[in-house]
Amino acid sequence: MFRLDNKIAVVTGGGSGIGRAIATLFAQQGAVVHIIELNMDSAHEVIDEIKMNGGLAIAHPCNVADQANVISVFEQIGALHILVNNAGIAHVGKADTTQEADFDKVIQVNVKGVYNCVYAALPQLRKTGGGSIINMASIAAQSGLPDRFVYSTSKGAVMAMTLSIAKDYIGENIRCNSISPARVHTPFVDGYLKNSYPGREKEMFDKLSETQPIGRMGKPEEVAALALYLCSDEASFITGSDYLIDGGFIKLNN
């Protein structure tokens, strides 16, 4: 079960964190993985790891906010079966503390980036008779997280786009779902704590972990396992859905 043999998969932001876990798991399950990434050093680290374990993977330098760049890369990749829109950036700030340049940057990557990749991927998905699109959303789209104004805005848009894509292409055997993680322990979290709370990293890590009722942050590998299921043939009856993977954050927090 959950094999991806003979499947071509594209993972944006596949050089670190959740994207890295998805890329390595998909390759382990038989897919040929194309990693789209700005940081080619990290992308090549993942490629080397995948190849060391007998998998097949290729890295492509690409800015998902640049449509011409995205279209060119997807034309090079050609026919595909799976697209995982994982690339994204975060921002801390409220409506009146978020500067216009920061607002525009987050929207360009988190919203336009998803649109650009879907736009470029659809002709390639049609060549294989359909496939699966996964968009990485967030609990921020459904919960009032403090100081996450534009990030929450962008992830709400991702959820709306997911429904629209699922509706518009269901007749072409193209499924589209989103995944909404709570806090996941990635290098980004470690960097954020180091920069924002020097000397208090352990204290703040524990505090952030406790916001999930389950008492810890998620693991990138846990999100990757959900993405694998949703992209597998076993999930062929699932489209237009958002999947919480949040340790009970949305439903169990009072």
Q: Give me the active site residues, please.
A: 151
Q: How far is CA 10 from the centre of its chain?
A: 11
Site of tokens 């999100």: 223
Q: Which two tokens stand for residue 122?
A: 């659809």
Of 189, 214, 133, 207, nearest to 18 by C-alpha is 189
Measured distance CA(132)–CA(130) in Å, rounded: 7
Q: What is the DSSP string of 44-104?
A: HHHHHHHHHTT-EEEEEE--TT-HHHHHHHHHHH-S-SEEEE-------B-TTTS-HHHHH
Site of tokens 């890369």: 73
Answer positive or negative: Cα dihedral of 125, 23, 178, 115. negative
Of 131, 235, 121, nearest to 174 by C-alpha is 131
Measured distance CA(119)–CA(70) in Å, rounded: 9
Of 115, 130, 135, nearest to 171 by C-alpha is 130
